[in-house]
Homo-oligomer: A and B are copies of this chain.
């Protein structure tokens, strides 16, 4: 059936369901949503459950939009009038491509009103669909830039959402029935995650990352399986770490024109880290694989989905994100293929345990036959201490090093470990577990933290309460100080004993190099590893005991300072948690592929799961293709 006929049919169906007096001007697919354009959005807003009923009947995500939008200025003052002073509205953004108005307010509850009454009042007044977000306590320039960019590109974006929407809802034509996964990276190794899920109808790429510490090892994008890129239906991002997202913008350089699905925080964090990545590569004097223009293309093509929202991304594939507990916005990507045919999930990186920031990863699904799961700490010996023990060990190190007048360098991913460690340090200092010193943040850590507070609904409820109900925001504690210039960095280096949390987390470039260069020879100082050091990175080498480090230009760093690894802060599940994650899964999957781990760990985890839990397992190699059905 032609897409036009299909839309016509849907419109007729909707008309029949509508109460008298409500009209539908037109319907259109925009991205994964079906948009109903109406001349009287106000009447629509009055019909409480109408949209829910329609969505269930038509089995699409439905959005209602007015055909004509009120003048933004007039609408803005109407909003302020309806909400009143109490809401603490800090900003209002009109998104012309979606007909939505984003209301940023100190007290979102007031803007929403009891059971959404105020929100409906707003809709009735202005036509625009109101969305409310909490005014972030720390402003993120990334979030601001991303929103500005999307607003500027709204005309183009409207067109491409329409194109994507029509592609998603095209007819299914093949009579063959199969589902395959091709491994394009991240098998028997950590890094360059890239998996192709394909059916006779559709192709979806899950992640497209870098190999940490190895600029030459990209995902295998040169093999024919993924070409032509124009035939790819979707890219799905599990989370914003570079080993999962660094090469997504490159796809646009190579001709990809489709959407990238992720959670909202992942979109912003990924864009931030990609730009930082270009910067780091450039500073190392190496050619950058793509430019900031391709990052913009990525943002322009991004479609964000919240946890739990079931979304059509291809004629025969529905995607749902579930919390993975690993970093802000990290997701397990669950794919439902065909009409009840098969379900496969990719865990991305996984933390099955509650942390200061996040809830434990989800392991209950409506249905699931096959899972691709990470194995970073999948080896039989990979037990991590509890978070509590880890924190006590960190405090102990702090006491000792600060006591002898040393400085503490903590290399950390800007996203994830940094925030966990910040929260532990803030509490330790508050409870006087170690001397009061400055904690400097260098690299993208401050900005990443700001993004965390922009998406409070992605933090666990305790932290959210602490910040927004009790009014205590640990990220804003006095001890934290941003390093934002070379001059400041030099002052930190020559100054008093202190703690420095800095990127990159595996010592492959970034400001940590500058600190190392200047602080490594003083044995009072201490380098504290709190995160996973991948094979081939400088971090791993120092961890293994290297004490003379060539850093280009014939320069060598002599490592005299203490090197200590504090396990237990990881955003990855340890071996026990991974086994628990699987054994408590509902339903029990038929098949598990162990990926994202060194060769012996993926193999060891696969064989343990098979032996103890009687699930068929495989530790695939890169560049293989497996039939799931």
Contact = CB atoms under 8 A, between A and B. Distances in A.
A340 interface: no
A623 B180 contact: yes
A624 interface: yes
A178 interface: yes
Contact of A625 (B200, B231, B625): B625
A591 to B, nearest CB: 13
Nearest to A180: B623
Contacts of A626: 624
A297 interface: no
Task: Tell which of A178, A200, A224 has the most Cβ of chain B within 10 Å.
Answer: A224
A182 B223 CA distance: 12
A225 interface: yes
Contact of A224 (B222, B227, B621, B622): B227
Nearest to A627: B621
A226 interface: yes
Task: Tell which of A222, A227, A627 has the most Cβ of chain B within 10 Å.
Answer: A627
Contacts of A231: 224
A224 B203 CA distance: 11
Contacts of A225: 224-225, 625
A231 B180 CA distance: 23
Total copies of the chain:
2
Interface in A143-188: 178, 180, 182
A217 to B, nearest CB: 10
A622 B621 CA distance: 18
A182 B627 contact: no
A232 to B, nearest CB: 10
A451 to B, nearest CB: 36
A599 to B, nearest CB: 13
Nearest to A187: B627
Interface string A213-227: 000000000101111
Task: Tell which of A180, A222, A625 has the most Cβ of chain B within 10 Å.
Answer: A625
Contacts of A180: 623-624
Q: Which bracket fits the contact residues of A?
A: 10 to 19
A351 B200 CA distance: 36
A222 B203 CA distance: 13
A324 to B, nearest CB: 28
Contacts of A624: 180, 624-627
A625 B178 contact: no
Contacts of A627: 621-624
A622 B226 CA distance: 18
A627 B622 CA distance: 8
Interface in A614-629: 621-627
A112 B256 CA distance: 63
Contacts of A222: 200
A621 B626 CA distance: 8
A624 B626 CA distance: 5
A586 B50 CA distance: 74
A224 B623 CA distance: 14
A578 to B, nearest CB: 25
Contacts of A200: 222
A398 to B, nearest CB: 45
A156 to B, nearest CB: 29
Nearest to A178: B623
Contacts of A621: 627
Contacts of A623: 178, 180, 625, 627
A626 B225 CA distance: 13
A617 to B, nearest CB: 15
A622 B178 CA distance: 10
A594 to B, nearest CB: 16
Contacts of A178: 622-623
A559 to B, nearest CB: 32
A600 to B, nearest CB: 17
A537 B180 CA distance: 29
A227 B178 CA distance: 19
Nearest to A621: B627
A627 B621 CA distance: 7
Interface in A199-242: 200, 222, 224-227, 231
Nearest to A196: B224
Nearest to A629: B621
A476 to B, nearest CB: 49
A234 B545 CA distance: 51
B227 A182 contact: no
A618 to B, nearest CB: 11
A216 to B, nearest CB: 8
Nearest to A174: B222
A623 B174 CA distance: 15
A213 to B, nearest CB: 18
A223 to B, nearest CB: 8
A626 B624 CA distance: 5
A627 B625 CA distance: 9
Interface of A: 178, 180, 182, 200, 222, 224-227, 231, 621-627
Given A180-B623, A180-B624, A224-B231, 6 more contacts: A178-B623, A182-B625, A224-B224, A225-B625, A622-B627, A623-B625
5 contacts: A178-B623, A180-B623, A200-B222, A622-B627, A624-B625
List the 9 closest pairs (A to B, CB-CB), nearest first.
A625-B625, A621-B627, A224-B224, A624-B625, A624-B627, A224-B225, A623-B627, A225-B225, A178-B623
